[in-house]
A and B are shown apart, each in its own frame.
Chain A
Amino acid sequence: DAKTTQPPSMDCAEGRAANLPCNHSTISGNEYVYWYRQIHSQGPQYIIHGLKNNETNEMASLIITEDRKSSTLILPHATLRDTAVYYCIVRADNYGQNFVFGPGTRLSVLP
């Protein structure tokens, strides 16, 4: 079972920041937070991951609370192409361990 809780859906205006929350209150000390997204009829796309520090890359920023029980994925300037299902996944650093997908958040970027 997924170890995360996400809202089922969110809307965001084009050009505005999209803030996607994720609750992972049972996260363990050796577990990372990963974010992927899936655009319709495609495989999941890696976005970002982190352990406890905030992270930023060319796609997004990841803000992890100090207690690590929740995090927020931020898309700074959402575009229509960011419409997708976003998955927050908690996973230990184990090479053979798979990624368990929950239902995710369906983000709709509106013109």
Chain B
Amino acid sequence: GAVVSQHPSRVICKSGTSVKIECRSLDFQATTMFWYRQFPKQSLMLMATSNEGSKATYEQGVEKDKFLINHASLTLSTLTVTSAHPEDSSFYICSARGQGPYVAFFGQGTRLTVV
């Protein structure tokens, strides 16, 4: 299947700093990418939908000024957690539609720990 790569896989940052997470579709072009967050023992929750060349669409309750999403090319979307706080510690996962019309492929996830 298609490959979606996420980087970094794990990051620890100090409270108040910003962290950028990259999501790349390695062998296909993705006009739409999705960002999810997953807390321990919970399922994935959609944060935002990222469209290439336009502003992201955020789910209700997700602060767009805190979670900055940029989708500047057909193969790269970034999520920046600004002024991170311990409650932002979570597992962040991106996904992108593959070349087939129906299937989405997911990155390996980024474990963010804010101390």
Contact = CB atoms under 8 A, between A and B. Distances in A.
With a 10 A CB-CB cut-off, give which of B46, B106, B108 has the most chain A CB atoms.
Answer: B106
Interface residues of A, number: 21
Given A96-B32, A101-B43, A43 B103 contact: no
Interface string B87-115: 00001010101000111111111010000
B78 to A, nearest CB: 16
A32 B4 CA distance: 22
With a 10 A CB-CB cut-off, give which of A34, A36, A102 has the most chain B CB atoms.
Answer: A36
Given A43-B93, A44-B93, A99-B95, A49 B109 contact: no
Interface of A is mostly: loop
Interface in B16-33: 31-32
Is the interface on chain B under 10, 10 to 19, 20 to 34, or 35 or more residues? 20 to 34
B46 A43 contact: no
A94 B69 CA distance: 22
Contacts of A103: 43
B37 to A, nearest CB: 11
Contact of B109 (A41, A100, A101): A41
Q: Closest 4 A-B residue pairs measured CB to CB?
A: A43-B106, A101-B44, A101-B43, A43-B109
11 contacts: A32-B102, A41-B91, A41-B109, A41-B111, A43-B95, A43-B106, A44-B44, A44-B106, A45-B106, A46-B104, A46-B105
